[in-house]
Amino acid sequence: MTTLEQFIITRQQEREGSGAFSKILRDLGLAGKLLSFYLRRASLSGLLGELGLTNIQGESVQKLDHLANTLLIRLLSQNPHVAGLASEEEEHILPANPEGKYVVLLDPLDGSSNIDTGVPVGTIFSIYRRISPLGTPCSEADFLQGGRAQVAAGYILYGTSTLLFYTTGEGVHGFTLEPAAGEFFLTYPHVEMPPKSTYYSFNDNQLHEWEPSLQRYVADLHTRNRTSAKPQSLRYVGSLVADFHRNLLKGGLFMYPGTVQKPEGKLRLLYEGYPMAFLAEQAGAKATNGRQALLDVPPSKIHQRTPLFIGPAEEIDRIHTFLNTNVPVETL
Ligand code: AHG
Ligand code: MN
Ligand code: MN
């Protein structure tokens, strides 16, 4: 029985870290416990529905989006090691403690469209070591270092149980919240995504707007399914955290491509793309924007969007073969 707290402290001692970074992870765990508590009571506490505001992404803010954002920002900005925060829900970066060594990026509540229906939602986070001088307010450059500069990334999934999965570049480790004890316990050490795709997860309502080569990939997927002894099944929740999590444990492809009119897609590079890509690579899987590894895509602005293809290497490589050549389906 190892708690998240014990796990973090042991690793910190092994690395002879100062404990700064461990304290940020602990605060994220605390936020996860509190949000789990609020989400379970949301319909009893009048916390469902829209707040009546639109966020920087042009999306309607749900009451719980607002609560998650406020809670995480308040908690983390009190942490002396946090130099600043960036959130999907906030237009600008939020400088916190000039003496802090790290910056934190957040998708406070992922899967907003599912909140009112009791379907799993999540929180996505990533942490970078600041590059601006200690003692000064953090700057946007601290948040725009690129995916390979992440020192940690993870998510909290509020589902049938509350799970916290994270990586610091030494594999992916998962914890389950025991609500009675108020503790996360290590339940998934060293997670590896199975190399075979069991599931595929994408919203095909804009399939006709996708690049023809990607439409051919989908045709190929269906063709393989007709002849395969183990056809892949469709599973799509509409909360990236939930979809990615299932695919991480079972083996599966998630994609959210761009369209001809909107080639950058929907998902956000910094708050959703990079953290999931870091986890995927650490779990032996791949994440790309359809052209290159997502972690190598340079960011230019904090709210940048990106197409996302994430899953077993074999399936991602196959998509690339389609996207980067004009090979007709029947010759593959
Ligand atoms: P968010 O709720 O943080 O804005 O993210 C929603 C995202 C992601 O969680 C999910 O994969 C995707 O939107 C679903 O989009 P569609 O409804 O277009 O399928
Ligand atoms: Mn999201
Ligand atoms: Mn969100």
pLDDT in tens, 276-321: 999 999 999 999 999 999 999 999 999 999 999 999 999 999 999 9
Q: Which residue, by CA, sits nearest to atom 11 of ligand 1?
A: 240
CB–CB of 9/49 below 8 Å? no
Kindly indicate the confidence band of residue 330, based on its pLDDT and cuts at 50, 70 and 90: low
Alpha-carbon gap, residue 242 to 248, rounded angstroms:
10
Residue of 62, 114, 267, 306 best suited for mutating to test ligand 1, as the one with most atoms within 8 Å of CB: 267
- Give me the pLDDT at residue 327, please: 61
Give the least confident one: 11-20, 196-205, 257-266.
11-20
Alpha-carbon gap, residue 327 to 332, rounded angstroms:
7
The amino acid that residue 117 corresponds to is T
CB–CB of 126/150 below 8 Å? yes
When the pLDDT of each residue in the chain is averaged and rounded to a whole number, the result is: 95
Domain covering 4-190, topology: Fructose-1,6-Bisphosphatase; Chain A, domain 1 (3.30.540)
Distance 330 CA to ligand 3 centre (A): 40
- Give me the pLDDT at residue 329, please: 52
Domain map of the chain by residue range? 4-190, 199-323
- Structure tokens belonging to residue 201: 């997860």
Distance 26 CA to ligand 2 centre (A): 22
- Give me the pLDDT at residue 22, please: 87
User: Is 111 close to ligand 1, i.e. is its CB under 6 Å away?
Assistant: yes
Q: Which ligand is nearest to the CA of 237?
A: 1
The pLDDT of residue 331 is above 60: no
Q: Per-residue pLDDT averaged across 22-34, rounded?
A: 95
Give the least confident one: 84-88, 112-116, 210-214, 221-225.
112-116
Q: What separation in angstroms does the CA of 112 have from each of 50, 62, 82, 107, 238?
A: 10, 7, 26, 11, 9
The pLDDT of residue 191 is above 70: yes
- Give me the pLDDT at residue 26, please: 93
Sequence-separated contacts (24+) of 49-54 with Cβ below 8 Å: 49/116
- Give me the pLDDT at residue 196, please: 95
Q: Above pLDDT 70, what percent of the chain?
A: 98
As a residue count, the chain comes to: 332
User: Is 167 close to ligand 1, i.e. is its CB under 6 Å away?
Assistant: no
Distance 105 CA to ligand 1 centre (A): 17
The pLDDT of residue 92 is above 60: yes
- Give me the pLDDT at residue 122, please: 98
Ligand 1 atom at shortest distance from the alpha carbon of 124: 3
**CATH architecture, domain 199-323:** 3-Layer(aba) Sandwich (3.40)
- Give me the pLDDT at residue 244, please: 98
H-only helix segments in 78-211:
140-143
Q: Which ligand is nearest to the CA of 265?
A: 1
N-term to C-term CA, the chain: 49
- Give me the pLDDT at residue 159, please: 96
User: Is 238 close to ligand 1, i.e. is its CB under 6 Å away?
Assistant: yes
Strand ranges (E), the chain: 50-54, 60-62, 82-87, 94-95, 102-110, 121-129, 150-158, 162-167, 172-178, 183-188, 199-201, 233-234, 252-256, 286-288, 308-311
Q: Per-residue pLDDT averaged across 30-48, rounded?
A: 94
Q: Which residue, by CA, sits nearest to atom 12 of ligand 1?
A: 238
CA dihedral 149, 315, 267, 87 (to 10 degrees): -30
Residue of 113, 243, 308 best suited for mutating to test ligand 1, as the one with most atoms within 8 Å of CB: 113
Query: Computed over its alpha carbons, how large is the radius of gyration of the chain?
Result: 20
The pLDDT of residue 169 is above 60: yes
The pLDDT of residue 134 is above 60: yes
H or E stretch at 247: helix 240-250
Closest CA relative to residue 163, chosen from 178, 143, 148? 178
User: Is 113 close to ligand 1, i.e. is its CB under 6 Å away?
Assistant: yes
